[in-house]
Amino acid sequence: MSASSNSLFRVLRELSGEEFRSGEAIANRLSISRASVHNAVRQAQGLGVEVYSVRGRGYRLAHPHSWLDAEQVEAEAKDLGYRLHVHDQVDSTNSRLMALGQVGAAHKTVLAAEWQTGGKGRRGRTWLSPLGGGLAFSALWRFNRTASDLSCLSLAVGLGLVRALRQLGLADAQLKWPNDVLHQDRKLAGILIELHGEALGPSMAVIGVGVNVRLPEALRSEIDQPVTDLLEGLGEAVDRNHLLIECLRQLDGVLSHYEEEGFAGLRSEWEANHAFHGREARMIAAQGESWRGRVAGIDEAGALLLDTETGQRRFYSGELSLRGVSA
């Protein structure tokens, strides 16, 4: 991490959402120059953090931020068998954890970051999230299964996230095949899974999760689909440390079940939480071809079942996009 990035996060953790703090006081506390404080604040504003700057009073965050606290999360994560690493900045939590996994990182290693310079989404997209406005983490899970046995893994992970969000009070969180979490038909969270292993197993999965916590309007306009955040859904700010702990707890449950029994025992719960179940929808391929029909569910391999005018079709995740249609 560069010196400027290091100063950025140190300064941000000194700012308050309740009171102004002078640049001189922050500089003295951190043993840096006032110019370094000023530059860090400008850098933070450029990354989407709203900071009020008033001459003679200093700086204040426009909204309270719950910066990731490794010590707060680590105790509970350790009880669940996780090994937690928290970074201020990485290129991508998935890329970093995959590299660690290939040189022997332990099962249930978790890497969370305040800021991703190259966060990855499905189908080659970039995951956009402002500094402090989302939760981004990846978990490494080693399965005694082949890669083909993991075709439903993103569905199981999505179910774990929905369980976590409901524990936090978002009772109407729903799933969208194959790897999104929605609230009121707008994207709230996404999943990206990358696999590595031998054809006959075992397999290593790096499970990337991104949850929108507080998205500024300026960023929403850059995203090519309807989105929402937890602030809007719950009507109050969410502590991201609490959110991370609950996600890890629920993922531990569904992934342990998946390892032992596969997806079959989770399938009915997944379908019951699918936002498109029983609805008219359109499946669109990357090349532009599309199919319209009623969503009938998913099969044992996680394929989406769509009842069309010419019969039932099965769609496997890949270069496909599921969209709702008007009646």
The CATH number assigned to the domain holding 314 equals 2.30.30.100
Does residue 138 share a domain with residue 10?
A: no
pLDDT over 60 (residue 121): no
pLDDT of residue 1 exceeding 60, the answer is no
Query: In terms of Cα–Cα distance, which of 153, 136, 156 is closest to 205?
Result: 153
pLDDT band for position 118 (50/70/90)?
confident
221 lies in the same domain as 302: no
- The pLDDT of 118-122, averaged and rounded, is 59
State the pLDDT at residue 327: 46
Q: Are residues 179 and 150 in the same domain?
A: yes
- Per the structure, how many domains does the chain have? 3
Task: Give, for 299, the enclosing helix (H) or strand (E).
Answer: none
Catalytic residue among 10, 60, 122, 176: 122
Whether 83 is catalytic is no
* Domain co-membership, 236 together with 94: yes
- Does 88 lie in the same domain as 38? no
With bands split at pLDDT 50, 70 and 90, how would you rate the model's confidence at 125? low
User: Is the entire prediction scored with pTM above 0.85?
Assistant: yes
Is residue 177 domain-shared with residue 300, that is, in the same domain? no
Active site annotation includes 176: no
The number of angstroms, rounded, from the C-alpha of 252 to the middle of its chain's C-alpha atoms is 16
Is residue 145 annotated as part of the catalytic site, yes or no?
no
pLDDT at 88: 92
Residue 41's CATH number: 1.10.10.10
* 312 CA to centre of own chain: 32
83 and 159 both lie in a single domain? yes
In 72-100, which positions are buried (b, 16+ CB within 10 angstroms) versus exposed (e)? bbbebbeebebebbbbbbbebbbbbbbeb
Q: Are residues 28 and 152 in the same domain?
A: no
Instruction: Give the domain range for residue 309.
Output: 280-324
Mean pLDDT, the chain, whole residue set: 91
The contacts of residue 26 (CB under 8 Å, 6+ apart) are 11, 14, 15, 37, 58, 59
Clarify whether residues 52 and 120 are in a common domain: no
User: Of these residues, 96, 145, 163, 187, which one is catalytic?
Assistant: 187
Q: Which of 272, 288, 313 is the last residue of a domain?
A: 272
- Which of 118-127, 240-249, 311-320 has the lowest average pLDDT? 118-127
Q: Are strands 290-298 and 304-308 parallel, antiparallel or unpaired?
A: antiparallel
* pLDDT higher than threshold 80 for residue 18: yes
Domain boundary among 14, 30, 61: 61
Pick from 61, 82, 106: which residue ends a domain? Answer: 61
Q: How large a percentage of the chain has pLDDT more than 90?
A: 76
Does 264 lie in the same domain as 213? yes
Give the model's confidence band at 4: pLDDT under 50 very low, under 70 low, under 90 confident, else very high: low
Enter the tokens of residue 291. Answer: 């199919």
Q: What is the C-alpha separation between 283 and 304, in angstroms, rounded? A: 10
Q: Are residues 116 and 251 in the same domain?
A: yes
pLDDT digits (tens, 9 = 90+) for 194-235: 999 887 879 999 999 999 999 887 777 778 789 999 999 999
Position 127 scores a pLDDT of 57
Q: Do 289 and 268 share a structural domain? A: no
CATH code assigned at 173: 3.30.930.10
Does 126 score more than 70 pLDDT? Answer: no
